[in-house]
Amino acid sequence: MLFPVSVQLNILIFSILAGVLTGILFDLYRVFRGLENPNRIVTFIEDMLFWIFTGIVVFIFLLFTNYAYMRMYVYAAIGIGIIIYMEMISKIFIKVQYKLIKSIIKFIRITFNFLTYPIQLLFYNIKRKNKQKILKKKLEENQNRI
């Protein structure tokens, strides 16, 4: 079936965007995987699940944008989109992801410390009073010996 040039151009653009989307998903997965060091079996299962998920997401994206019209040039355009993303945007995106994760962890840590501070202060005061009582008791015992 022949499509007008404008439809073919849309298919080409959305196929390139599907490649960029695949690159973004891959970087998200790479950062997620960088946080842990699983064994080979877990890595294989994670990789398979990632590629199945990515295939479904790209298929749904192409389904909504160009009715999942798949020809060889669509696959080539997806590959070109991945290459463009990996060469131009990937390094910046990964740095932003790491900074975002670092900021989120820092925010959680500060919030946790802020929320638990009154409890820590309460325990500190209880311990201090107990120490003072023990020291007083020891001091009295020492004075009684003398």
pLDDT score for 1: 61
- Return mean pLDDT, the chain: 87
**pLDDT of 36 strictly over 80:** no
pLDDT one-digit tens code per residue, 87-144: 999 999 999 998 998 999 999 999 999 999 988 888 888 888 888 888 888 878 777 7
pLDDT score for 35: 64
* Better-predicted residue by pLDDT, 106 or 11: 106
Is the distance from CB of 68 to CB of 62 less than 8 angstroms? yes
Report the predicted TM-score, pTM, of the whole model to 2 decimal places.
0.70
Mean pLDDT computed over 12-38: 87
pLDDT one-digit tens code per residue, 37-74: 678 888 888 889 999 999 999 888 888 887 777 888 88
